[in-house]
Structure 1
Amino acid sequence: MAWNEPGNNDNDPWKNKGGKNQGPPDLDELLNDLGKKVTGIFGGKTSQGGSGKSFSSIGITILLIIGLIVYAFSGFYTIKEAERGIVLRFGQYSGTVEPGLRWKWTFIERIIPVDMQSTRDLPASGFMLTQDENVVRVDMQIQYRVVDARNYIFSVTDADQSLRESLDSALRYVVGHAKMDDILTSGREQIRQSVWQELEKIIEPYSLGLIIVDVNFKDARPPNEVKDAFDDAIAAQEDEIRFIREAEAYARGIEPRARGRVKRMEQEAIAYKEQTVLDAQGEVARFEKILPEYKAAPEVTRQRLYLATMERVYSNTSKVMVDVEGGNNMMYLPLDKIIGQQSSGRTTTQSYTPATQPTTSINTSPSTSTSGRSDRFNSGRN
């Protein structure tokens, strides 16, 4: 018969083991012993008849202790260096905490971290109507940063969305009061500054806790249907500006050179004038010195002037006059041609003798011989 069949069966393997009535440990007894030990640790007293009640109070105490520990550790949090923490106590603003390790009352306080140092981007674009009733697509982007965490969270429902709508309003207002040529070409910087000022004017009453760092005018273009015509117009305007700049550069380059030439010509004219005056004064002084001598000996003075003039004339030429012995003819040697032929290699040597036919002859007058003039010429030079 099996040990666990109904009836009087004492074949339980946990009993009478080793000759003694031994069985499996009783769960109630284990819990009772554990409760006594815990109660002893905390200084409590055990009761003989209330083991279940003692165990329940001990369990609750342990759970409370564990819950307090978990609650204490759950209250620690960290605020990053670039953030500020908004403290809400029962949903109401209680203050702002600085970066670092902090502690809060869990389930009572709530912390909202707000990034205060990062620069955020916000784009805006769309087709807009200009003052001269043209349609243009404008792309713009702003950069902003949070400066007041409380206003950023509580001033409006969504500060970023409010800023987006304000940017769109400011952009359309400025574009609507500007001409299309200014938007596409030379007025872009003015449009950017006007949008910046108008945006700050719009968001100032709302106290969004934001500051506009920069406004970037990214692009402005006409609709695709008329883009080619506007591109041609813009190219023509750019060519006009380029031609004007080139003309101004040419004028700046040529004008100083012209002024320099004018100054040089003026200086040369002044120098020529002074030289002419000085030459004339020198001739006058020379004439005044020669005049008394001419009055004293006219013939001698006339011959001296003639010889001095011939010396000055022949000193500037390469022709040499030769007095032919025994005749009344004088010939000259074309030394310039001879030197030129020798330098070019076409003539190596040429010899001339008194018997050679002269190239040019000069007939002397009977009253004055050639040799006499030559002697006087030589004596004058000496």
Structure 2
Amino acid sequence: NRRRLARPALAAALAILALNGFYIVRPDEIGLIERFGRKQLPYRGPGLHYKWPWPVERLTRIQAERVRVVEIGFRSNVAAPELEPPAYEWNVQHRAGRFQRKPEESLMLSGDQNMLEVNAVVHYQAARPDDFLYRQLDGELTVRTAAESVLQAVINATALDEILTVGRQAIEQRAETELQRRLDRYQAGVRVLRVKLLDVHPSTEVVDAFREVAGALEEKSRLINEAEAYRNQQVALARGSAQARLASARAYALARKHRSAGDAARFQLAEQAYRTAPGTTQMRLYLETMEQILPGKQKIIVDAGQARRQLMLVEEGVLLPQAPLSPPAATLREER
């Protein structure tokens, strides 16, 4: 009886062992086959496949298209939402909640020797699943270590102000390029998709000193803005004053030109009148001149009898002789 049952049992065992070689690869997976420990290419895509039963061949499934994330400087603890604080502030220690600080990874020195805490994430894919699995003892740990080293190098070569303000995108691009180059040198089989700086701030140990520096920088910016506003105001006033002076000079030049033209025209008319009636014009000009210079001055008119009258002008106590008046007069007057 045992002999008769041994053959069917052996056949059934062989059938089960043979059927055990069938396997299914899901749509988001890639199958890697090892035959006596040596990998077999190409990769097995989604669908039904067959392999030699163990121990001849062994199947390893990997989600090659899945985007993997490595956290630098912190860990996300999704298992403790009940301990979530109302808000995460960079200047306060966090000992509970989903955010777990890792100072051994986050503490870095900037290029100008300032202590910073850098929290970043690295998104990557297993571009070559066989290298990712077989060339590294732990692929994720390799990516994490390389990313931390690259971030340290990039931050150490960058000034604090650039890290905190306008230089973050450039830092991310440099870190991504350098991380991809380093992982290729390791033959890690990884394609880096993105290096993202989530939070960059001074360490909590230097919060007070950083606030003093920030206050001084704000005061400096305020004074600079006030000085620039005053400069702009004074420049505008100076430009306005210059334009006003230019306009006044143009008006003065135009007035002098017109006055000169009028004086020249008047002189020409007087010259023409003199040519027409010299005696009359000479007497008129003499009387107009006397009318302009005599008012407001002390005068002494001396009548010398039959001689011609003499006009004396008193200028600050000094007698200035003048031309004789014509016609002669018979009386003497004093005016003030």
Residue in 2 aligned with 1:211? 191
Cα contact 1:88–1:95 (8 A) shared by 2: no
Of 62, 65, 77, the match for 2:25: 77
1:161, distance to aligned residue in structure 2 (A): 0.1
Distance 1:191 1:68, change over 3 A: closer
Verify the 8 A CA contact 1:183 1:220 in the aligned structure 2.
no
Deviations 1:108-132 (A, max 9, x none): 3414223335252422334456777
Quote the Cα distance in structure 2 between the aligned partners of 1:302 and 1:201: 108
* Alpha-carbon spacing, 1:174–1:57, altered in 2? closer, same or farther (3 Å): closer
Q: CA-to-partner distance for each residue in 1:193-243, whole Å, 9 max, x for gaps?
A: 66556645643421212233224162232343x421321112212331343
2:217 is the counterpart of 1:237: yes
Whether 2:242 is the aligned partner of 1:291: answer no
* Distance apart, 1:175 and its partner CA: 5.4
Paired position in structure 2 for 1:272:
252
SS at match of 1:209: coil
**Counterpart secondary structure, 1:147:** coil
What are the within-5 Å matches in structure 2 for residues 137-286 of structure 1?
137-173=117-153, 199-200=179-180, 202-212=182-192, 213-216=194-197, 218-224=199-205, 226-245=206-225, 247-248=227-228, 251=231, 255=235, 258-259=238-239, 261-286=241-266
Structure 1 residues 244 and 270, CA, compared in 2 at 3 Å: closer, same or farther?
Answer: same
Q: After alignment, is 149-158 or 135-144 more displaced?
A: 135-144
CA RMSD of aligned residues (A): 4.6
Q: Does 1:86 align with 2:35?
A: no
**Residue 69 to residue 132, structure 1, CA distance change in 2 (3 Å):** closer
Give the CA deviation at 1:245: 4.5
2:112 corresponds to 1:112: no
Question: 8 Å contact 1:75–1:106 — kept in the other structure?
Answer: no
More strand by share: 2
Secondary structure at the aligned position of 2:51 is classed as coil
Structure 1's unaligned 5+ residue stretches are 1-51, 307-382
Is contact 1:116–1:149 with CA below 8 Å preserved after alignment? no
Q: Is the 8 A contact 1:131 1:180 kept in 2?
A: yes
Which one-letter code corresponds to 2:145 in the other structure? E
1:331-350 C-alpha deviation (Å, 9 max, x unpaired): xxxxxxxxxxxxxxxxxxxx
Distance 1:248 1:104, change over 3 A: farther
- Residues 291-350 of structure 1: CA distance to partner in whole angstroms, max 9, x if unpaired? 323554657x979xx9xxxxxxxxxxxxxxxxxxxxxxxxxxxxxxxxxxxxxxxxxxxx
Normalising by structure 2, report the TM-score: 0.54
Aligned-residue offset at 1:105 = 1.8
Indicate the structure with greater helix content: 1
Give the C-alpha shift of residue 70 in structure 1.
Answer: 5.4
Distance in 2 (CA, whole Å) between partners of 1:76 and 1:189 is 43
TM-score by length of 1: 0.49
1:27 corresponds to:
none
Q: Read off the aligned partner of 1:167 and give its amino acid letter.
A: A
Q: Percent identity?
A: 22
Aligned residues of 1:122 and 1:164 also touching (Cα < 8 A): yes
Contact 2:110–2:116 (Cα < 8 Å) also in 1: yes
Equivalent residue of 1:79, what SS?
coil
Seen in structure 2, the aligned counterparts of structure 1 residues 262 and 191 have a Cα distance that, compared at 3 Å, is: same
> 1 CA distance for matches of 2:18 and 2:157?
66
Say whether the 8 Å CA contact 2:64–2:127 is kept in structure 1.
no
Q: Do the aligned residues in 2 keep the contact of 1:153 with 1:159 (CA within 8 Å)?
A: yes
Aligned residue in 1 for 2:47: 101
Q: Distance in 2 between matches of 1:248 and 1:84?
A: 64
CA, structure 1 residues 202+275, in 2 after alignment: closer, same or farther (shift >3 Å)?
same
Given residue 142 of structure 1, which amino acid in structure 2 is its aligned partner? V
The CA deviation string for residues 15-74 of structure 1, in whole angstroms up to 9 with x for no partner, is xxxxxxxxxxxxxxxxxxxxxxxxxxxxxxxxxxxxx99x969976995898599557x4
Please tell me whether residue 122 in structure 1 is matched to residue 71 in structure 2.
yes
Is the contact made by 1:132 and 1:179 (CA closer than 8 Å) also made in structure 2?
yes
Pair 1:184–1:288, CA change in 2 (3 A): same
Structure 2, unpaired ranges of 5+: 74-104, 289-336
SS at match of 1:218: strand
CA shift digits 1:104-155 (9 cap, x unpaired): 3263341422333525242233445677777554433333333332322222
Structure 1 pair 137–150 and aligned structure 2 pair: CA distance change class (3 A)? same
Check conservation: 1:86, 1:114, Cα contact below 8 A.
Answer: no
Q: Look up the SS of the partner of 1:75 in the other structure.
A: strand
Per-residue deviation, residues 345-372 of structure 1 (Å, max 9, x unmatched): xxxxxxxxxxxxxxxxxxxxxxxxxxxx
